[in-house]
Amino acid sequence: MLRDWPVFAEGFGMTILLSALALLLALALGVFFGVLGAAEGKKVRLCSRIYVEFIQNTPLVIQIFFLFNGLPHLGIMLPVFTVGVLGVGVYHGAYVAEAIRAGIQAVPRGQLESATSQGMSYWSAMQHVVLPQAKRIALPTLTNQAVSLIKNTSVLAMVAGGDLMYHADSWSSNNLYYGPAYVVTGLLYLSLCMPLARYARRLERKLEVSL
């Protein structure tokens, strides 16, 4: 097992890279749709709702499977790495959007009203007054989302994605030595997620969101 460490290292690196890119995508989508979800216009809000409901209420596995095996039938062949970033990113984007929307709506309405009465436009009031306060409320949730996202990259094992879980599966099934392989894999995931989760806890205390 120790002899074959490069196999696990490759998977570990892949999982980290995948998580980082998917997280960026999730944040970008989340901020965009989160702000839309808290906006004034009904139609705009509906756009955000459709995305969030659709993604949150279907399993990630099905979404990944569709990207991997469904799209090629329509003539779109995405490389498996792209499938991973897109699938996991879009999935968590929906959750991030909800966190951000909740954060914005938790900021008292008077803040936005007084900012616009100072002559700020809606967007600059958002940017300078509302979002900085919303960020404080949403941050701990976002960190937890990052933890979930890292764990969820393991679904790529199902579509030969080359991530840590795939290599663990592959290696252990070749050697029929699955016990230690999965224990080590679990510890590797733990080493990624645990510090993040601790950090989230610290943030919550610091920002006095919870005691």
Q: Which is nearer to other proteins, 12 or 68 (CB)?
A: 68
DSSP labels, 157-210: GGGT--SHHHHHHHHHHHHT-HHHHHHHHHHHHHHHHHHHHHHHHHHHHHTTS-
Q: Which of 64, 153, 155, 169 binds other proteins (CB under 8 A)?
A: 169
Q: Which is nearer to other proteins, 71 or 183 (CB)?
A: 71
Q: Which stretch binds other proteins (CB under 8 A): 25-33, 40-48, 162-170, 187-195?
A: 162-170
Is there a contact between 141 and 167 (Cβ–Cβ < 8 Å)? no
- Least distance to other proteins, CB of residue 9, Å: 18
What token pair was written down for 107?
């900021």
Q: Which is nearer to other proteins, 72 or 186 (CB)?
A: 72
- Least distance to other proteins, CB of residue 81, Å: 13
Q: Which is nearer to other proteins, 51 or 166 (CB)?
A: 166
Q: Report which of 148, 189, 134 is spatially closest to residue 167, judged by C-alpha positions.
A: 189
Q: Which of 9, 50, 61, 77 binds other proteins (CB under 8 A)?
A: 77
Q: Which of 158, 184, 196, 209 binds other proteins (CB under 8 A)?
A: 158
Contacts with 38 (C-beta within 8 Å, 6 or more apart), sequence order: 100, 101, 104, 105
Largest interatomic CA distance in the chain: 69
Measured CA to CA, the distance from residue 63 to residue 91 in angstroms comes to 8
Measured CA to CA, the distance from residue 111 to residue 84 in angstroms comes to 39
Q: Which of residues 115-144 bind other proteins (CB under 8 A)?
A: none
Q: Which stretch binds other proteins (CB under 8 A): 18-26, 68-76, 120-128, 199-207?
A: 68-76
Q: Does 176 bind other proteins (CB under 8 A)?
A: yes
Q: Does 211 bind other proteins (CB under 8 A)?
A: no
What token pair was written down for 189?
């995931």
Q: Which residues bind other proteins (CB under 8 A)?
A: 65, 68-73, 77, 80, 157-160, 166, 169-170, 173-176, 178
